[in-house]
Structures are given as structure tokens and as C-alpha cells.
Amino acid sequence: MPTEPPVILLLSGSLRAASSNESALRTAESVAASAGVRTIRYTGLADLPHFNPDDDHDPLPGPVVELRTAIAEAAAVLICAPEYAGTLPGSFKNLLDWTVGGTEICDKPVAWVNVAPAGRGGGAEATLRTVLSYTGAAIVEPACVRIALSQGMAGPDGVVADEDVRSGLRRVLERLAEAA
Ligand SMILES: Cc1cc2nc3c(=O)[nH]c(=O)nc-3n(C[C@H](O)[C@H](O)[C@H](O)COP(=O)(O)O)c2cc1C
């Protein structure tokens, strides 16, 4: 019996329509089969309510159930998030806050790709490391890399054709799959 490819959940930290972080994840999606994985792109970031510990109990808000279920069902998680004002965008930190009260992300292999130009985005990476360590996620260091995406690299579908970018993302997925 052939084994099912591991599922990698793709989380974008940007709500921007022409987001470079979203482009990186769409490109990862387009190389997933060649990396031997299946990807699911999470699209519920804008629907999550503001985190409030008073609401972090059953019955949970629907979008939170969707998020936690998506994490639970994935073998690994790949994050691409921009840096705003030296750290993560508030909306993405809000998503991570919603993972703290659940156990789904505990011991889950997680990596991030920094798509910012050289020398940028380090604050977002530092925050990801702090928050993910706090949640108990298993950070897959060899899969946490920089793959700079410049403006205009993505086609109208958000997918990048550049072979260096594609092979870099393929390697990230392979390393996450190995850790899964
Ligand atoms: C409000 C705001 C604050 C930003 N602050 C930073 C910053 O502190 N450091 C940085 O490297 N880039 C910063 N940037 C640049 C973004 O990280 C950059 O535009 C990134 O490409 C956005 O990601 P996206 O294309 O996926 O939306 C900021 C952008 C905005 C809109």
C-alpha cells in the first residue's frame, strides 16, 4: 500500500492582497508534489476574533475551531509572515495567541521562511522563535531559511517561476517532511 504524503499546513501572516509572503506559500503549494508532500493553505486569518482568554473555552468560536483542527490534522506547519514595526503583524500574533490554549501545536514540527530583503525581517523571526517556543512547537531549524522575494517576481496567480526560489521552497518542504 502506498503511504499518504504528509500534510503541511501553510500559514501566511499577511492580509495584503498582493502579499509576498502569500506568494511564497502559493509557490510552495505549486512545488509540494515534487517535494513528496501535500499542502493546505490556511485562509482564515481575517476571520479570527481578537484573542480573549474569556472566550478560550468550549464552545470555541468557529474560526478558532477551524484553526486548531487544521493544525491538529497537519503533520507540520510552514509560516511566512512579514515584519511590522519590528515584530509580527498584530493579526498574526493574534493567531498564535489562539494556539496557546490548545495543545495542537505542541511538539508539531514548525518552520518559517523570511522573504524580506537581506537585513530585514529579523524582528519578525525573533518574535516567531519566542512565541513558538512558548507554545511548545518543535522548531525545525534547517527548514527556517531566508528566501528573498522581490516585487514583480510573482505571476498574476501569486506563484513565483524563479527556479532558485522554487528549489529553495522545495527543500524547506522536504526538511519539514523529514521532521514530521
Ligand atoms: C506598517 C508597516 C510596518 C513595517 N515595519 C517593518 C519593519 O519593522 N521591518 C521591516 O523589515 N519591514 C517592515 N515593513 C515592511 C514589510 O515587512 C514589507 O512590506 C513586507 O513585504 C510585507 O509583506 P507582504 O508583502 O507579505 O504583505 C513594514 C510595513 C508596514 C506596512
List pLDDT tens digits, range 84-139.
Answer: 999 999 999 999 999 999 999 999 999 999 999 999 999 999 999 999 999 999 99
Is the pLDDT at 1 greater than 80? The verdict is no
What spacing in Å lies between the alpha carbon of 121 and ligand 1's midpoint? 8
Tell me which CATH code domain 7-179 carries: 3.40.50.360
Ligand 1, CB within 6 Å, residue ranges = 14, 16, 19-21, 82-86, 116, 120-121, 123
pLDDT tens digits for range 141-170? 999 999 999 889 999 999 999 999 999 999
From CA 26, how far away is CA 68, in angstroms rounded?
A: 21
What spacing in Å lies between the alpha carbon of 41 and ligand 1's midpoint? 21
What residue owns the CA closest to ligand 1's atom 18? 82
The confidence band for 54, taking pLDDT boundaries of 50, 70 and 90, is: very high
CB 32 within 8 A of CB 176: no
From CA 49, how far away is CA 77, in angstroms rounded?
A: 21
Q: Which of 127, 97, 112, 98 is nearest to 21 (CA)?
A: 112
